[in-house]
Amino acid sequence: MSQSGTREGMLFVEVSRCMGCRSCEIACAVAHSASKDLFEALGEEPRPTSRVKVEAAEESAVPLQCRHCEDAPCVAICTTKALEKLGPNLPVLIKEERCIGCKFCIMVCPFGVIGLRADGKVALKCDLCIERLEVGEDPACVAACPTKALRFLPPNEVAAIKRRLTAAAMKDADAKAALVREKA
């Protein structure tokens, strides 16, 4: 938790779990609608837009959204200070009223996860559902993910999960190597 009470963490994506259902995309658009209701959001103007996109990579599906970099190129390049990093493990946010739509941030983002609002006038990106984090909830995409391919966790927990996966993989590799040795 930050001092303000906002949940801290990072989006952890397990590509092997993603079924490509795009529930995260719908949940994101609804979370950023005026009504926050699926059925009502459909009729809203401006049309609610998703900040997460599921991209295809051969057989796999990969949900992509802003990584909220600690040393964010988009923040560095933003001449009007529309983009702002709230603090370590906290989101990079955009102040729409400051944005002049120069699109430099789109250009420098290493992951291609910044887009434009439907009217094309200002940049559009994931805000980690800051309003939800403030009340202790997961971001909407995470809450909507039926297979838990998307999770919101503190970085040290993500590292712990990755270590366990690595350990399991190494054990398997070792066992296979032993088998090869035996056969030889």
Partner 1 sequence: MRSPEKRSMDPATIEMLRRVAECNVSVAWDRHEAMEPQCGFGSLGICCRICVMGPCRIDPFGEGPSEGVCGATADIIAARNLARMIASGAAAHSDHGRDIAHTLLMASEDEDCDYRIKDEKKLRALAKELGVATEGKELKEVARGVAEIAFSQFGQQHGELVFTKRAPEDQRKRWREQHVVPRGVDREIVEIMHRTTMGVDNDPKNIIMQGVRAALGDGWGGSMIATDLSDVLFRTPEWVRSYANLGILKSDEVNIIVHGHEPTLSEMIVAASRDKELLELAKSKGAKGINLGGICCTANEILMRHGIPLAGNFLQQELAIATGVVEAMIVDVQCIMPALGKLAECYHTHIISTSPKAKFPKATHIEFEEAHAYETAKKIVRMAVENFPKRDALRACIPSAKSPLIAGFTTENVYTMLGGRYRPSYRPLNDAIMTGRLRGVAGVVGCNNPKFTHDYGHVAMTKELIGNDVLVATTGCTAIADAKAGLMCPEAAEKYAGKGLQEICRAVGAPPVLHLGSCVDNTRILTVLSNMVAEGGLGQSIADLPVAGAAPEWMSEKAVSIGFYVIASGVYTVLGQPLPIQGARGLTKLVCDEIEKMFGGKFAFESDPIKAAHLMIDHIDAKRRALHLPGTMYEVPYPARTAQEMAQAAG
Q: Can you give the binding site for partner 1, defined by CB under 8 A?
A: 21-23, 25-27, 29-30, 38-39, 41-42, 47-50, 143-144, 146
Contact between 35 and 44 under an 8 Å Cβ cutoff? The reply is: yes
Q: What is the CA radius of gyration of the chain?
A: 19
Q: How far is the CB of 149 from partner 1 (least distance, A)?
A: 14
Contact between 53 and 94 under an 8 Å Cβ cutoff? The reply is: no
Nearer to partner 1, 21 or 130 (CB): 21
Task: Say how far apart CA 109 and CA 52 lie, in whole Å.
Answer: 15
Q: How far is the CB of 62 from partner 1 (least distance, A)?
A: 15
Nearer to partner 1, 48 or 63 (CB): 48
Nearer to partner 1, 2 or 49 (CB): 49
Contact between 141 and 149 under an 8 Å Cβ cutoff? The reply is: no
Residues in the chain: 184
DSSP labels, 16-84: GG-----HHHHHHHHHTSSS--HHHHTT-SSPP--S-EEEEETTEEEEE-----TT-HHHHH-TT--EE
Q: How far is the CB of 33 from partner 1 (least distance, A)?
A: 9
Nearer to partner 1, 9 or 48 (CB): 48
Q: How far is the CB of 44 from partner 1 (least distance, A)?
A: 9
Nearer to partner 1, 8 or 127 (CB): 127
Nearer to partner 1, 43 or 88 (CB): 43
The residues, any chain, with a CB within 8 Å of residue 33's CB and separated by 6 or more, are: 40, 41, 44, 48
Q: How far is the CB of 70 from partner 1 (least distance, A)?
A: 29
Q: How far is the CB of 172 from partner 1 (least distance, A)?
A: 32
